[in-house]
Structure formats: structure tokens, C-alpha cells
Structure 1
Amino acid sequence: MNTFRRIALLLTLLLAVLPAHAQTTRKKTTRKKAVATKVAKKKPTAKGKKKAPPAEDPSPADTGDVASPQPMVFGEPDAPSAPSDTPKAPESRPSLATPTQAPPPASTEPVKPEGRPSLAHSPVAPSAATGPVALFSVPRTPGAAEAAVRLETELRNHLQRGGDVPFVDLGQAFPPSEPLPLTKADALFEEGRGAYDNLDPEMAEARFREAVAAYEKAPGDLRPQRLSETYLFLGASRMLNGDTAGAKESFLRSVVADASTRPDKALFGQDVQKAFDDARAEVAAQPAGTLVVDSLPAGAQVRVRGEDVGVTPLKGVSVAPGRHPVVVSLPGHTSYAQFAEVKPAGSAQVKATLEPGPGLSAIREAAVRAGSKAAFDSETLPPETAAIADRLDARYLVLAAVSQDKKGRFGAELQVWDVRTQARLRGVEIDLSGKERDESPAATAEKVRGFINGSMAPRVAESTGSGESLLKRPWFWAVVGGVAAVTAGAVYVVTQDNGRPFNPVSGGVGF
């Protein structure tokens, strides 16, 4: 019995020890597999692939342990082992799941919106005119010709002050003619020169007088240097003939004609050189006079002794006493030339009326027809207007028609055509009495400037402070793409610009 009891106690002890030993061995093996799994996860991280950790297999075959015949309820280590293994797997997952491509789009996209607001909020200046402008003021009634010329000059001056309205270059459209060769005068000069060299002072004096008369008949074509040289030889010939007073007069005129003239020592003796120097000193000692030049139309170039001195109206030009050739010229017009006699400390006045040349005359005749009431009331581009723009290579044509009522008061109506887009500014009234500031030439010029530069846009009807609708006031209508709108004091008519070049009118009007 004692032996049997001892064997039973040993078996019971073995049964109690073996499960605990198996559980301890199994726990150690599981921990080793977790470390191996963690190392294996580093390889997919390098390749950029995400792989789930291998599942833990509790079978005895995986651990190499002996299977327990009953549930392993012995020991507390199983409880903490589960949470200790679970957090290790999530620690590696966030590093793999974090995206790294997001920053590049964030650095490139914000750049574009920063530039757009600055363009949207920046002020936009009115666009400048894209083509030259031609301006004509014509009389619509008898007796309004002079008023039309003055109005054209005034409108041109107002529009040119801003520097943003380019005008047609009439000098290029109508280039000035070349100076006529003074063949007869040059021939007389050469004959007098030959007689002087042959010691025939009487013949030389006669030929030089004739040459002076021939040169002074054409003040617009003569060369001041040649006239001064002719007077010099005339004075020298008179000295040889014993006419000292006549020689002094000739030398004075030579100095006035060209102050840079000097006697050639190889041609003239000491007496001529001394008399000429005395004449120069006398001219320099005299008080200067003034020259006043005016023209119709104004804005003409003024040349005195071949030098440009300004544009008309010109006042207070200081000149030496004597006779001066004055030339007044304006593109497209016939030049005006005359000799002006200026006294010491005195004043001389030149008034030039410039007549249009043949080419400009034909243009103005067409402008008169284009400024008629029928042409202003036309809903389409009149052929005369198209022909003028084509001849002058102008995009905008400004036409002002001046009329005189029964009481003798002058007024004008103005229209502006954009021949490229067929847009028109119409219904602009001009008051030439100076009473209405809103209808003055200066205010009219601003309306024209706004139309040409594109800053004038039609406005919808709005109410005034008194509650009266602008539609009931004497304002004018505009049609833009078939929609009615209101503009202040003018009608703005626009049609669509198809982008095609202007097709000039080839028939009916020619220049």
C-alpha cells in the first residue's frame, strides 16, 4: 500500500508540473516569433509595400511542444502577453500609411491665385486710339466759312493738348513742293560776276540790280545766302562807280539778309572790306524790332531768313531792322511769302491767308458733302466719309458743320466716324457764342477724345436728383448691339467689329 501511494503521488506531481512547464516553454517561443515578425516588416517598408503580420498559430506543431490533455488554465502570464504583442504591430503601421506626395501640390497651386487678384483690382486705363484722326470743320450755310476755319483750329488745339489723339500727318499726305530754281536770277548773278571780274563796274551794277529784283520776287524760294552775296557784289560795284551812299545801302541789306556773310579778301579790296565792316557795326548798334505773324488757319510754320521761328499766331519775334523774307507754310496749303520791313525799335505785322492746295481742296469739297444734313442723318457710312478716310489713311473722321441762324449767331453740329468698326458719335451740338460751357469747343473736344480712346460708354437711364428720368430730358439715345442706352449729350452708335480691314469706297468719290 505504501508503494502504491508513492506512485500515485508521483503521477499527481508529474501531472501538475508538466502543464506548467509546457506553458512556460510555449510563451518563450511565441515571443521569439514576434521579434522575427518585426524584422520581416522592415523589408516591405523599403520596397514601399504593406504586408500584414503573420498570424500566430497556437498548434503544438508550430512550437514543438507537447500537447496538453486539458485546457491551460494554470499561470497568469497569458493575460499580459496579449496586450504586449498587439501594440507592436500598430507601431509600425502609421509610418507606412503616412502620405508623402501631398506637399508638392500645395507649393505650386497657391502661386496662381496670388497674381490674379492684383490684375483684377488694378485700375484699367482707357485704351489709346489705334488709328490716326482726320478733322475737318466745314460751312453748312453761306457766311460760315471763316467761323468754320476758326472752329477747326480750336478743336485741333484742344485735342492735341492731351497728346493721346494722333492726327493724320498732312505733310506726308500732301508733301510740300520743292523750291523752284531761280534760273533767271542765277543767270543774272553770273553775268554780273563776269562783268565785275572784267573790270566793267557799270555792267556789273546793272546785272546785280536785276538779279536782286529777280530774287526778291520769289521770297519763298530764294536762298538768303545768295541774296546777301548779290547785295555784296552790288555794293562793291557801286563803290567802283563812286556811289558811296549806294554802296553803304547795299552792304546794310547784305548784312540783314545773312549776318554770316563776309567779303572774300581775294576778291575785294581793303576799301570794300572796311565799308562792309562799318555796315555790320551799324546794324548791330541799332535797336532790334519785332515781327508779328498771324495766319488763317492758325498753326502754320513761320520761317524768317530761312530759319524756323515758330508757328502762328506768333508775336514778339526779335529781328534786326531791315527787310526780311517771311514764309508761312501749312501742310496741304499754298505757302505765303513776303518781305517785311522792320524799323529800329518798331514792329511789323504779317497776316497770311493760306489757301488749300489742289489735293486738300478736293478733300475739303468732299468734307462739305459729308457734313451736309443728309449725310449726318444717314444710318450708314457716307461714301464721301469713307473716301476721305481712305485717302488720308485715317481711322477716325471728325466732321463739324457750322451754320449761321437768322440772327447771325453761329453754331455747329459734330459727328465722329470710326470707319473700321462703323461706330459713330453723333448729335453733338457746339455753341460758338461762349455761353454754354457744356457745349463749348473745349467740352466737345473731350467728348471726341472719350469716343476715340474708348472711355465713352453708353449708360442706362438713371434718375436725377429731382426724380426726373433722364429719358425725359434732352439727352440722346444710343444703340449698342440692339440695346438702347443713354449717353450725355451725344448719340453713340456701334456695330460689331468683325476684325476685317476697312474696305474703302472705290467709286463715286475720287481724289
Structure 2
Amino acid sequence: APKKVVDAPAPVRAAPANAVAIFGVARQPAATDSAAKLEDTITRRLGSAGDVQFVDLATAFPPPEPQGNPRGDALFDEGRAAYDNLDPDAAAVKFKAAAEAYVQRPGDLRPEKLGETYLFQGASQLLNGDVAGAKAAFTNALLAEPSLTPDAGLFGQDVQRVFSEAQSDLNAQPQGTLVVNTQPQGARVLVRGRDVGTTPLAGAKLAPGRYPVQVVLPGYAPFATYVEVKPSAPTELKTKLGSAPGLSALRDAATKAGTEAAFDADGAPPEVGAIAERLNARYVVLAATFQDKKGRLHGEVQAWDVRTKNRLRGVEVDFGKRDGKGSADYAADQVHTFLTGAALPQGREESKEPLVSSDSVLRKPWFWAAAAGVAAVTAGVVYVATTDRSPGFNPVNGLPGGISF
């Protein structure tokens, strides 16, 4: 009898063995900027050590798939049919409407399609004797897709000539500079679908004109708009990125776990285990900042190993210090020592009871409802990292092993 073929289950991507999630948490609105700076310092110091590898949050929060633009595509097809049937009046109207439909949705824009639309619009206008309108359309085509050239098999010499004039005029204009700043920083900036750098972007040189700009950061909702670049002048774009729904819930959970009461408690807040489970993280690091009665800014950093139940605490930050004990760099080094030296004490086996039980709080509706209702301000980005393990060391007492609850 033939053997029964059983479909193999789909492979499951293995999570990093020692993933780290880092949150900057502001306990008061006045401490928001300092929370972002403290988080950035910890992240930068861990990255420079060479034994911590950051993982793109796109794995945990994949960006939405492009939706396309059916309306724009349909209008383009109608314009192309009119153009092929030698009806330039109708073609120009349809191509103009198609371009407007594409422009209205910069997040789903295909620059080459927009450039092609403007090219056909200009060719249609030229057939109607509108040379100025054709030249303007050709300029828009080049701004959308600089590598665009009219196909000699589709367009006559008049189109080739006016298009070349538009290209020469555009190249002769002095370039402008695009400056992009985002909160949080580190977002990729795409102009016409091409990566031009990350924020803070000091300046991308561009010919004067209107450009589709997209700002993308894993864990955050993509931002897209159009920017008018002026000749011989900087044009600045500022935006605060909105969190993706999943990251917003984790931020709320981190805010609740980063309160003074939670830091002072003996046990780990349930939110720490929930965050670790959601991100497949072994470690959770919270960098909380606050303002005292005299208006001075302070910080406190704690870290948890959800596998062994070890904990780093008592790491305080004085933002008035630039180096040495109490500085942000010193706190980052303490975290690094905890992450890379958090082996179990000699003679002790790893705990069999992780912070996240099989009856996880992640599965409890009340948990995420409570997390979503937290009103405190959270600053910064979540980073996921993997660490290399090395012999254990307790950063508090200098003895082998981590810090037990």
C-alpha cells in the first residue's frame, strides 16, 4: 500500500536566546526628553561594546503591506486608451486625474508610475498645442522619477525635444536641501521611494520641486507626505511618529512597570513578564526618569532576567554628571555587565519557574485593558537585542552570578 504523505508543519522561526528589550520611561511629562536620552545612551553603549547585537523591530511589528492605488491605475488605463485612440483632450484629463489620485496617497506611491503618468499627460497636452503645460508635466515626471526617458517608439520628436528642455531647465536650477527630524530618531527617510538616510537627516540635496517623502521606523506607523523643496535653501520636515498598535500597548505596560512603587517592590511587575513574552526577550531593561521637587532630573535603571529571575537594581542616574559613577554612561555600563555576566551562581541550577507562566497575563483581557489606560508619558524606542554570554559576574557585590529576587 502506498505510504500516506503527511504535510510537515511550517517551520517556526527561533527567537534569539538572549534577547533584550529596552524601554525609556518618563514618570512625568517634564522628564520625557531625558528618558529618550537615557535610553539612547544605554542603547549606544551596548551597541559599541560589540557583544550586543540589535535586532530590527520589524520582526515583531512588520510594516503594513502597500495597498496600491486601484483608482489611479484605472484612470491611467482610461487615459492610455484615449491617447492610443488619438483623443488628446480626454487623455490629458484622465492622466491629470490619475496623477492627482496617486499624489493623494504618498504612502502607496510608486514613483515610476507617477512619472509615467506625468509623461503621458505632458505628451497629451503637447498634442493639444499646450507647450507650457507639457513642459510643467515633464518637470513633474522628472521630479517623480529622475531616470525617466521618453520611449522613442511611443513618443515623437516634439515630445523628446520639450522633455529635454524641461530636463535642462531643472538641472540648471540651484539645488535645495531637505532636513528631516523625527521623534523618536533613527527613522529611515525615503524620497521618491529611495533611501536617503536616517533621522536626524542633516540635508539631502535635491532639485527644487515637490517630492513624496516617507519616514519609516520599525514599531511605528509609517509617515508619508509631500515636501516642497526650495532652491538654495533648506526645507525642514518635523514629525512625531505614532506607535504601531502593538508597540503602544507595550509602552503602556512599560510605563506601569517603571513606576517608583514597581521599582521598589521585591517581585517583578507582571508587565515585565508580559513584555518579555510578547517580544521573545530574556531581558527587560527599564530606564525611568523623573524630576524632583527642585526641578532636577534624575534617572533609575532596573533590568530583569525573566529566565533566571535575576535582577539589576539600585542603578541611579544624575543628569548633572557627564561621566563617572552616577552618569548615564556609568548606568549603561552596569546594564552591560548584567547582560553579559548574568550567569547563575555556582552550584545552582537555572530556575524552572520563569516569570511568565503558562497561564500568562498576556492572555488576560484585564491586563491589556489596564495597560492601555495608563496615562503616564513614555519616551523613546523599544530595542530588541541579542547578547553573547560570558562568565557570570554580579555588578552589585562583585561576586560570580546574578542578583536574585
What TM-score bracket applies, with the shorter chain setting the length?
Answer: 0.7 to 0.9
Quote the residue 2:313 is aligned against: 426
For normalisation by structure 2, the TM-score amounts to 0.80
Map 1:239-258 onto structure 2 (within 5 A): 239-258=126-145
Quote the residue 2:228 is aligned against: 341
State the 1:205 CA deviation.
1.7
1:413 and 1:214, CA in 2 relative to 1: closer, same or farther beyond 3 A? Answer: same
User: What 5-or-longer segments of structure 2 have no aligned partner?
Assistant: 1-15, 369-405
Map 1:87-126 onto structure 2 (within 5 A): none
Are the aligned partners of 2:322 and 2:328 in contact in 1 as well (CA < 8 Å)? no
What is the alpha-carbon distance in structure 1 between the residues aligned to residue 347 and residue 256 of structure 2? 24
Are the aligned partners of 2:323 and 2:329 in contact in 1 as well (CA < 8 Å)? no
Are the aligned partners of 2:122 and 2:133 in contact in 1 as well (CA < 8 Å)? yes
Are the aligned partners of 1:132 and 1:166 in contact in 2 as well (CA < 8 Å)? no
- Return structure 1 stretches of 4+ with deviation > 6 angstroms: none
Quote the residue 1:158 is aligned against: 45
SS in 1 for 2:80: helix
Are the aligned partners of 2:306 and 2:355 in contact in 1 as well (CA < 8 Å)? no
State the 1:286 CA deviation.
2.5
Quote the residue 2:339 is aligned against: 452
Cα deviation, 1:456-482, whole Å, max 9, x if unaligned, reads x9xxxxxxxxxxxxxxxxxxxxxx97x
What is the alpha-carbon distance in structure 1 between the residues aligned to residue 28 and residue 234 of structure 2? 38
Are the aligned partners of 1:421 and 1:496 in contact in 2 as well (CA < 8 Å)? no
Are 1:498 and 2:350 an aligned pair? yes
2:78 pairs, out of 170, 179, 191, with 191
Are 1:323 and 2:210 an aligned pair? yes
What is the alpha-carbon distance in structure 2 between the residues aligned to residue 501 and residue 276 of structure 1? 71
- State the superposition RMSD in angstroms: 2.4
What is the alpha-carbon distance in structure 1 between the residues aligned to residue 210 and residue 50 of structure 2? 38
Are the aligned partners of 1:422 and 1:495 in contact in 2 as well (CA < 8 Å)? no
Are the aligned partners of 1:432 and 1:440 in contact in 2 as well (CA < 8 Å)? yes
Quote the residue 2:299 is aligned against: 412
Stretch of structure 1 that moved more, 497-506 or 319-328: 497-506
User: What 5-or-longer segments of structure 1 have no aligned partner?
Assistant: 1-128, 458-479, 482-493
Are the aligned partners of 1:291 and 1:342 in contact in 2 as well (CA < 8 Å)? yes
Quote the residue 1:120 is aligned against: none
Amino acid at match of 2:361: G
Quote the residue 2:276 is aligned against: 389
Which structure features the higher share of helix residues? 1
Aligned length: 348
Quote the residue 1:169 is aligned against: 56
For normalisation by structure 1, the TM-score amounts to 0.64
What is the alpha-carbon distance in structure 2 between the residues aligned to residue 151 and residue 341 of structure 1? 35
Quote the residue 1:471 is aligned against: none
Cα deviation, 1:280-301, whole Å, max 9, x if unaligned, reads 2222222322221111111111
Map 1:189-228 onto structure 2 (within 5 A): 189-228=76-115
1:181 and 1:497, CA in 2 relative to 1: closer, same or farther beyond 3 A? Answer: farther
Aligned residues with identical type, % of pairs: 50
What is the alpha-carbon distance in structure 2 between the residues aligned to residue 189 and residue 500 of structure 1? 63
Amino acid at match of 1:374: A
What is the alpha-carbon distance in structure 2 between the residues aligned to residue 382 and residue 437 of structure 1? 30
State the 1:257 CA deviation.
1.2
Are the aligned partners of 2:181 and 2:199 in contact in 1 as well (CA < 8 Å)? yes
State the 1:501 CA deviation.
7.9
Quote the residue 1:134 is aligned against: 21
Stretch of structure 1 that moved more, 236-245 or 163-172: 163-172
Highest RCO, 1 vs 2 (Cα 8 Å, sep ≥ 6) = 2
Amino acid at match of 2:350: N
State the 1:241 CA deviation.
2.2
1:433 and 1:197, CA in 2 relative to 1: closer, same or farther beyond 3 A? Answer: farther
SS in 1 for 2:59: helix
1:386 and 1:254, CA in 2 relative to 1: closer, same or farther beyond 3 A? Answer: same
